[in-house]
Structures are given as C-alpha cells and as structure tokens.
Copies of this chain bind each other. A is one copy, B any other.
Amino acid sequence: MSMKVLVIGAHGKTGERVVRELKKGSHEAVAMIRDPAQRELFDSLGVPTVLGDLEYPIDHAVQGCDAVIFAAGSGSKTGKDKTVLVDHLGAIRSMVAAAVHGAQRFIMLSSINSDPASTSRISHYHRAKGRADEFLRTMNGVMEQSLDWTIVCPGGLTEEAATRAVSTHAGSAGTGNTSRDNLAAALVACLDEPNTIGKEFVLLDGDTPLSNALKSV
C-alpha cells in the first residue's frame, strides 16, 4: 500500500536522504521545510513541499498524510533552548498532530543514548530526545488516538555510502557509528516492515542485511 509520508526535517543531512530514498520506492514523499529558500532542491527532485516550523502548529502539514518520518533536529550550533523547543517539544507536537489527523504510522529518528534522565556530556540533547521518545512509547491508551510508532536510535552519524548492512539491538543504549545512508534506508524500510511497530532499537553499521535486521528487532 502506497503511503503519503511527511518528512519533517527534510532539508537536513539525513532528511534529504530520506526523501531521496522514498523517491526510489512506492511511497509518496512530502518535504516539510522551514525556509522557502529550501524549496528549490525539492522542486528539482519533483517532491512537493509544505512550509512548517516545529515551534508553531504543524497541523496543516500533517493533514492528509498517512505516515510521518521525524528527521528534524535543532543541530549542535544553536543554544540549548532550541534543543528543548525543537528536539523535545517539536517532536511531541508532531506526534500529537499525527495522532489527531490520522497519520497513523510514526517513525522517529532518535539517538543512541537518548534518555529522559541523561547525565552525559550532551545531556540536554539526550534528555530532549529521551523525553520525546518516552512520550511516543507511552501515549497509546493515554490519549484518545494512538500511533503505530517505531523509534530508531543511530550511533555517530557518518557520510559513508550505504551498505544496507547493519546491526541492531533493543533500546537506545550503545556505542558505534551509523552511515546516514544506511539510516535513511532503515527509516524508510520501517514503513513496510510491520515487525518494527512498537519497537525502539539501536541501528549501527554492521553485517546483517537491513531487511533481515528489521524483521527481528
């Protein structure tokens, strides 16, 4: 079944790869961008765009979509306030919008060592990601709507080319690296692998073919 998939953070390094990966398959991508100047790239790819900023309501962007891939991040160059506003609050806002508007499938790009009570060197980031993930894991049965969620936690992101060979384990704790190409391939492959629904897992570069790995997370 072809899904209309909103990619939040489409102009980021991983988000753009997610859009390109979606273009290769049967699903329909919609790129959410914050700055109109980012539109040119997606016009050239033939991918529709919608303007949205995670510090504001994004209902208009989610409406009519079947799935959301959340690939946004405030980045390491902004203040820690933006980490809270985007990576924590913006992520939960996206989950609520997806639930309310029936974009039932929600794929969350999280991070290795995300943890609501992190004391790591970048605890502000790991807490923001961990708190958003915790909301997603626990919202079903508490809110009126529910989501079919998957949380993917990559390691240190690299520019290596896709091998489509990975290693996975449950949870978010771990050490290692993940190629952005492999990550984008995994985020998109989750859409068609029902075994990933309701799972949170670490995704590292490894030896197992991606499609096999996702069958057993």
Which residues of A approach B to under 8 Å, CB–CB? Answer: 55-57, 79-81, 84-85, 88-89, 92-93, 96, 99-100, 117, 123-124, 127, 131, 135, 138, 142-145
Most chain B CB neighbours (cut-off 10 Å) among A93, A100, A142: A142
Cα distance A115–B32 in the bound complex, in angstroms: 34
Q: Are A93 and B85 also in contact (CB < 8 A) when A57-B56, A144-B79, A144-B80 are?
A: yes
Contact B96 A123 (CB under 8 A): no
Contact B143 A81 (CB under 8 A): yes
Contact A88 B81 (CB under 8 A): no
Copies of this protein in the assembly total 2
* Neighbouring B residues of A144 by C-beta, 8 Å: 79-81
Cα distance A131–B130 in the bound complex, in angstroms: 12
Contact B99 A92 (CB under 8 A): no
- Closest chain B CB from A216 CB (angstroms): 29
Q: Are A81 and B56 also in contact (CB < 8 A) when A89-B92, A142-B124 are?
A: no
**A81-B100, A84-B135, A123-B142 are known contacts; what are 14 more A-B pairs with Cβ within 8 Å?**
A55-B56, A55-B57, A79-B100, A79-B144, A80-B143, A81-B96, A81-B144, A81-B145, A85-B93, A88-B92, A89-B92, A127-B138, A127-B142, A131-B131
* Neighbouring B residues of A142 by C-beta, 8 Å: 80, 123-124, 127
* Neighbouring B residues of A145 by C-beta, 8 Å: 81
Cα distance A123–B88 in the bound complex, in angstroms: 20
Contact A143 B131 (CB under 8 A): no
Cα distance A124–B96 in the bound complex, in angstroms: 13
Contact A84 B57 (CB under 8 A): no
List 6 interface pairs A-B (beta carbons < 8 Å), by A numbering.
A55-B57, A81-B99, A81-B143, A81-B145, A84-B143, A117-B138
* Neighbouring B residues of A84 by C-beta, 8 Å: 92, 96, 135, 143
